[in-house]
Amino acid sequence: MKIQWMPALLALLVLSCSPSGPALNSGTAQAASTTVSDIPRTPSGKPDFNGIWQVMMNANDNLEPAAPKAAYQLVPGDFVPVPHPDIVAMGAVSAVPASFGVVDGGVIPYKPEALSRRDENAANWLERDPEVKCYMPGVPRATYIPHPFQIFQSESAFFIAYSFAGAVRNVFLENPGPAPLDSWMGQSYGYWDGDTWVVEVTGLDDRTWFDRAGNYHTYQLKVTERYELVSENVIMYSATMEDPDIFERPWTINLPIYRRLEEGYELPQFKCVEFVEELMYGQYRKGGEFEQRLRQEMLEEAQTN
């Protein structure tokens, strides 16, 4: 008997806790308000974001909803696409899990003529994704790439250090004007909107991507981030992208960021430059040219079969 009513009870609990479920009663609303008011704050009364944080979802695979697939890069097979020869031996490790999607409305609003490049990027993921080469991830990708980051906040500074590739961001507290040049992590300017920390990011290098699915931007991209501390250990994060060259309109992603709670936890370093030396320069060592030619022959054979 317990087995029969337990699923219904769980479904009712989930429904009552979901944003689209029944309205909060006054007691629940008061509890939620109390929770928000109990967030850590700085001496000036603003939310205190100090700590090590990490996104616990696979937005880095694809910002849009997507079904699972056999690999990040596929080539034509006899009946269905198969993993690229360079990653086929990785098996399930290189397989792509389903993406729930974090884009408002579900779809990135590319202009029709810009969508083909996204598809080309996906078809050439191994060669083009800057993450593969250990390039700094840019914004907003640095937030949800599967590595933690640390926020250092004071009354006179806001600084973010990322584990991946040793990337960092110093957020200006006064508007510095236009970025003097484009860079991997861009130029960040932050200010308060009530209890929400808003960061405007410009001057981003157009070689950065949004995810492993090939979603991209141009040098005109402007990102407006919003960090809202909704509890002691959860930040609700949103980022709005504006790039009139390739998008029909601005679009926004929303996702939670969680505090790392391990006792004594420190930000781990993932300075991966040395990890990709073979990928970047292996063809220059003795025998490397032969191996590269062999891989190319394997790829051509897979495409012709």
Tell me the pLDDT of the chain (305 aa) as tens digits. Answer: 333 434 443 343 333 433 333 333 444 344 344 345 689 999 999 999 999 999 999 999 999 999 999 999 999 998 999 999 989 999 999 999 999 999 999 999 999 999 999 999 999 999 999 999 999 999 999 999 999 999 999 999 999 999 999 999 999 999 999 999 999 999 999 999 999 999 999 999 999 999 999 999 999 999 999 999 999 999 999 999 999 999 999 999 999 999 999 999 999 999 998 888 888 877 777 766 666 677 777 777 766 66
Cα–Cα separations (whole angstroms), residue 95 to 86, 91, 92? 13, 7, 5
How would you classify the pairing of strands 222-231 and 234-242? antiparallel
Question: What ranges make up the beta strands (E) of the chain?
Answer: 51-54, 74-75, 82-83, 149-153, 158-162, 168-172, 187-193, 196-202, 222-231, 234-242, 251-259
User: What is the pLDDT, as a whole number, of residue 112?
Assistant: 95
Angstrom distances, CA of residue 227 to CA of 113, 190, 191, 223: 33, 10, 11, 13
> For position 283, what pLDDT does the model report?
73
CATH 2.40.128 for domain 51-64+99-259? yes
Task: Report the pLDDT value the prediction gives residue 16, as an integer from 0 to 100.
Answer: 40
Output the pLDDT for position 281: 79
Q: Is 102 exposed, middle or buried (0-12, 13-18, 19+ CB in 10 A)?
A: buried
Decide if 48 contacts 235 (C-beta within 8 A): no
pLDDT value of position 244: 97
The structural domains of the chain, with segments of one domain joined by +, span 51-64+99-259, 274-304
The pair of three-digit structure tokens given for residue 148, joined into one six-digit string: 């933690």
